[in-house]
Amino acid sequence: MILRCIECGRNYPVNDVRYRCDCGDLLEVVHDTESLRGKISRKTFDQRLSTREFPYNSGVWRYKELILDIDNKFIVSRPEGNTNLYSAEKVGEWVGVKHLWLKHEGENPTASFKDRGMTTGITVAKMMGFKKVACASTGNTSASMAAYAAMAGIKAIVFIPQGKIAFGKLAQSLAYGAKTLQIKGDFDDSMNLVEKICGQLKIYLLNSINPFRIEGQKSIGFEVLQQLKWQVPDWFVLPGGNLGNNSALSKGLKELYEIGLISRVPRIAVIQAHGANPLYRMWKKKTSFKPVQPVTIATAVKIGNPISWKKSIRGIEWSRGVVEEVSEQQIMDAKAMVDQAGIGAEPASCCSVAGIKKLVRSGIIHKEDKVVAILTGSLLKDPDAVVNYHLGKLKGIESTYANRPIQIEASLEAIRKALD
């Protein structure tokens, strides 16, 4: 295992504390896939499926050889992953595909997909002897880091854009005891500041710029494939914000392909909110990357200058994938459908489902395709968005599928009338 620059290819030892190459670009962990070929098989992972043994009971560490082959004594695990893959017929009908699965990452210990990358990130922090960790966040990374740091006995410092994260997420950061800095700016300002501070003080940076976060995050793809009995779907569709998750997904799939655990490459569709769509603009117009000033109800992906855009593009191209954008109305309509199916997810997660509907309409995803949408966070993360949608109080958004509460007198007669 080594660290390699994604741009100039320079190598660094894995125990170097660094997030960027001297040339300024991002680093990634490179595994020796050649030697892994003879060492692991589908059976290795299938045999661990029913185990209660630490750390293989985790949906991340089950794939340890492909993630971080380190001494188990350092591992900080909840255990995370092992989230459900729902076959979602009704939602499938609504978007126009026959085979739709929803991978619910909101079922992780802190209710978002971030726990997969955080178990590896905090494990490395502990192994390297750090006493403090920090991240900038739109709320889920900070919730996850705060929880894992608390479990590991490490001090957590989170940078969040003031007034711009969902309440459930702010509550988690405070509750788990993180020092919570509400920055008077947006996520991109917070990200910029936290990277500088971590460079100056002895604090370990746990945003997805950290290559070890990406390693844990790869396990979403591994787990979906294993749940599908290693049958490769036609599409993976997921939201894009800071663009770590899709970079991780494509990296993991590429490794599986190189090792020979899958023989076909699924296509990846990254969906951005229209108001926070720098990757989409670059993709669509075939221009160079330009940050945007982000505006969206999906606060989790309210990011204008995503750190991992280069990794993201590289993975999308490798998978013959696409980038799409969706409007606020499309996000909230999709959310209402996911919620009403009894599954539920936060707004940003539902970019996936809204994106599939749009890609079916434009003929890119076909009716017969097997499609996996990743739901990145729990419905309960953002109760304000839910309640205000059903009360018809979201500015500029029609509550197409509203389920309004009914105010009623405390009498049997009034109730009978209402139920009629």
Does residue number 190 form part of the binding site for ligand F0G (CB under 6 A)?
no
Q: How far is the CB of 97 from ligand F0G (least distance, A)?
A: 21
Residue whose CB is less far from ligand F0G, 80 or 346: 346
Q: How far is the CB of 50 from ligand F0G (least distance, A)?
A: 30
Q: Measured between alpha carbons, how far is 162 from 130 in angstroms, rounded to an integer?
A: 27
Q: How far is the CB of 306 from ligand F0G (least distance, A)?
A: 7
Q: Measured between alpha carbons, how far is 41 from 64 in angstroms, rounded to an integer?
A: 12
Q: Measured between alpha carbons, how far is 249 from 251 in angstroms, rounded to an integer?
A: 6
**Which one among 108, 141, 172, 319 touches ligand F0G, defined by CB under 6 A?**
141
Does residue number 350 form part of the binding site for ligand F0G (CB under 6 A)?
no
Q: For residue 298, which phi and psi values (nearest 5 degrees)?
A: -80, 75
**Which one among 210, 226, 245, 250 touches ligand F0G, defined by CB under 6 A?**
245
Does residue number 346 form part of the binding site for ligand F0G (CB under 6 A)?
yes
Does residue number 110 form part of the binding site for ligand F0G (CB under 6 A)?
no
The β-bridge partners of 395 are: none
Q: How far is the CB of 33 from ligand F0G (least distance, A)?
A: 24
**Which one among 100, 344, 377, 385 touches ligand F0G, defined by CB under 6 A?**
377
* Helix/strand/coil for 300: helix
For residue 13, CA distances in Å to 30, 210, 243 come to 11, 14, 25
Residue whose CB is less far from ligand F0G, 253 or 261: 253
Burial 102-134 (b: 16+ CB within 10 A, else e): bbbbbbbbbbbbbbbbbbbbbbbbbbeebebbb
Does residue number 301 form part of the binding site for ligand F0G (CB under 6 A)?
yes
Residue 54: other Cβ atoms inside 10 A:
12
**Residues 159 and 183: beta-carbon distance below 8 Å:** yes
Residue whose CB is less far from ligand F0G, 277 or 376: 376
**Which one among 55, 221, 240, 278 touches ligand F0G, defined by CB under 6 A?**
240
Does residue number 373 form part of the binding site for ligand F0G (CB under 6 A)?
no
Does residue number 244 form part of the binding site for ligand F0G (CB under 6 A)?
yes
Burial 244-281 (b: 16+ CB within 10 A, else e): bbbbbbbbbbbbbbebebbeebbbbbbbbbbbbbbbbb
Residue whose CB is less far from ligand F0G, 44 or 182: 182
Does residue number 242 form part of the binding site for ligand F0G (CB under 6 A)?
yes
Does residue number 83 form part of the binding site for ligand F0G (CB under 6 A)?
no
Q: From start to end of 313-412, where are the E strands?
A: 322-326, 370-375
Q: Measured between alpha carbons, how far is 347 from 381 in angstroms, rounded to an integer?
A: 9
Of 39-47, 223-231, 341-349, 353-361, which part binds ligand F0G (CB under 6 A)? 341-349
**Which one among 68, 124, 271, 300 touches ligand F0G, defined by CB under 6 A?**
300
Does residue number 277 form part of the binding site for ligand F0G (CB under 6 A)?
no
Of 51-59, 90-98, 137-145, 170-178, which part binds ligand F0G (CB under 6 A)? 137-145
Q: Measured between alpha carbons, how far is 41 from 262 in angstroms, rounded to an integer?
A: 10
Position 326, amino acid: V
Which residues make up the interface to ligand F0G (CB under 6 A)? Answer: 112, 114, 137-141, 208, 239-245, 300-301, 346, 348-349, 376-377
